[in-house]
Amino acid sequence: MDIFKRYIDQQNEQYSNCLDRPIKPASMFIIIPCFNEPDILTTLNSLAACHHPNAEVSVLVVVNDSEDASEEAVAQNNSTLNCIAGWKLQHPRLFFDVQRIYAHALPRKWAGVGWARKIGMDEAVKQINANDYPDGLIVSFDADSTVLPNYFQAIESAFENNPAFNFFTIHFEHPYDNPVLDPKIREGIIRYELHMRYYKNAMKWCGYPHAIHTVGSSFALKASAYVKQGGMNRRKAGEDFYFLHKLVLLGHFGNISSTTVFPAARQSDRVPFGTGAAIKKWAEGNSELNFTYSIEAFSHLKPLFSNPSQFWKMNQIEIVGFIGNLHPMLQSFCKDSRIFDEILELRGNCAIAKVFERRFFHLLNAFWILKYLNYAQGTSFVKGDLQTEAIILLQNIGIHAENNISLEILLEIYRNLDK
């Protein structure tokens, strides 16, 4: 387990304090960042209601705050720590261990959900290494989420049935059927999740092979893959997007659709973007959730992504000719990003076409696509109506959808598509 030791030796542990010793060696760790969270017990109760997997499980709750956090947030964090301790005493026969990690007064430059998630995941790596479980699992979760009872068993089975896989995303659904939910908030929740599912499926439709959902509460990975990838980042938001889209480059991944995570859909100012921030802005009158990247912008990527190995066989003149047949806006973006210079260099560094094709999507990856879409939006295309674009995409992939279909039914179609 030298790879684990090398990773552990490179980490700085001065900002966290594990308040509870592990009761028994575990091989599956659930990581829960927790900041100013008044309802952590709902999440713990949901996990406690799950069926017992074969693996020993430990839940690491990383209660964290910044050096400039408000007195109210710090007080809530202290209350949360005490609340978890009391809950543990009330549940002496749990099938999983609960460990509290307190990361107090983190430097403001990096304090946030990314660093908290990293602290918990790094602690899991330490314990997996100490327990001598090279195939140990790390599961990313959130303090405002709940799950179906088969959650642990579904994760365990996925890795057992696919031993070569490095990670899995897990099916998620934001709950919006609460009868007391404000209609405005309900619509915002539906629109936010629909945008996520449209975006992921549009990436897949245009030919990108690593189209995945990147939801912090809904993925699981091998500890070995975690350390190979270099560990979680410390981003204040979007840490899941950056982490998972780097992780896909290791290959061998899938999606668990036999269980479901239910992330809370509520207004929040904990992070600058994500579910809570999007719902908060929507409630305040922001109209961003009415729009999304147009399917036409995605469509112009199809010739580029449809057969990457073709570049392996082309000479420079043929590549120039290929570029000339792309949409002018995409030509301009490729020129500005110097991507074809990089493709030519890549071709010279790959001995066979198969290796070239794999590394092609290391260059033209999810980050590159996002930059392209923002470039397209700022030059040739405006964002389209979310409902309209989502319907057009379904029609393009052969799924019948009426033009006047409701947002709720549209979302359910996309949920089933992702399953």
Give the span between the Cα atoms of 334 and 395, in whole angstroms.
29
Would you state the pLDDT for residue 134? 87
Q: Residue 109 corresponds to which amino acid?
A: K
Give pLDDT tens digits for 190-200.
999 999 999 99
What's the rounded mean pLDDT across residues 139-159? 97
Give pLDDT tens digits for 87-129.
999 999 999 999 999 999 999 999 999 999 999 999 999 999 9
Would you state the pLDDT for residue 288? 92
Reduced to 3 states (helix: H, G, I; strand: E, B; else coil), residue 395 is helix
Would you state the pLDDT for residue 271? 56
Q: Specify whether the CB–CB gap between 210 and 366 falls below 8 A.
A: yes
Q: Work out the pLDDT band at 295, boundaries 50, 70, 90.
A: very high
Would you state the pLDDT for residue 233? 93
Which of 126-130, 227-231, 339-343 is predicted least confidently? 339-343
The DSSP letter of residue 146 is E
**What counts of helices (H) and strands (E) characterise the chain?**
19, 11
Would you state the pLDDT for residue 267? 60
Would you state the pLDDT for residue 149? 98
What's the rounded mean pLDDT across residues 24-50? 96
In the chain, % of residues over pLDDT 70: 97
Q: Work out the pLDDT band at 407, boundaries 50, 70, 90.
A: very high
What's the rounded mean pLDDT across residues 56-85? 97
Closest CA to 30 of 108, 121, 115: 121
Would you state the pLDDT for residue 13? 78
Place of tokens 């549209």: 410
Which of 77-91, 119-133, 348-362 is predicted least confidently? 348-362
Give the span between the Cα atoms of 37 and 57, in whole angstroms.
23
In the chain, % of residues over pLDDT 90: 77
Q: Is the pLDDT of residue 282 over 90?
A: no
Encoded tokens for 123: 């602690």
- DSSP secondary structure letters along 181-202: S-HHHHHHHHHHHHHHHHHHHH
Would you state the pLDDT for residue 269? 58
The DSSP letter of residue 1 is -
Give the span between the Cα atoms of 139 and 226, in whole angstroms.
11
Would you state the pLDDT for residue 74? 97
Give pLDDT tens digits for 159-199.
999 999 999 999 999 999 888 888 899 999 999 999 999 99
Which residues are within 8 A (CB) of 326 and not within 5 positions of it... i.e. 6 or more apart?
Answer: 300, 303, 304, 334
The side-by-side arrangement of strands in the sheet containing 145-147 is 17-18, 96-106, 57-66, 28-34, 137-140, 219-222, 167-172, 253-263, 145-147
Q: Work out the pLDDT band at 312, boundaries 50, 70, 90.
A: confident
Average model confidence (pLDDT) for the chain? 93
Which residues are within 8 A (CB) of 160 and not within 5 positions of it... i.e. 6 or more apart?
Answer: none
Q: What backbone torsions phi and psi does residue 339 show, to the nearest 5 degrees?
A: -70, -30
- Which pTM was predicted? 0.94
What's the rounded mean pLDDT across residues 6-13? 89
Give the span between the Cα atoms of 268 and 278, in whole angstroms.
8
Q: Which domains does the chain have, with CATH numbers?
A: 2-287 (3.90.550.10), 296-379 (no CATH)
Count of other CB atoms within 10 angstroms of residue 307 = 12
Place of tokens 């973006």: 333
Closest CA to 16 of 31, 38, 37, 1: 31
Q: Specify whether the CB–CB gap between 112 and 236 falls below 8 A.
A: yes
Closest CA to 208 of 419, 372, 391: 372
Name 59's bridge partners. Answer: 30, 98
Q: Mutual orientation of helices 339-349 and 353-363 as an angle, nearest 10°?
A: 150
Q: Work out the pLDDT band at 203, boundaries 50, 70, 90.
A: very high
Which residues are within 8 A (CB) of 76 and not within 5 positions of it... i.e. 6 or more apart?
Answer: 36, 37, 38
Q: Work out the pLDDT band at 266, boundaries 50, 70, 90.
A: low
Name 221's bridge partners. Answer: 138, 167
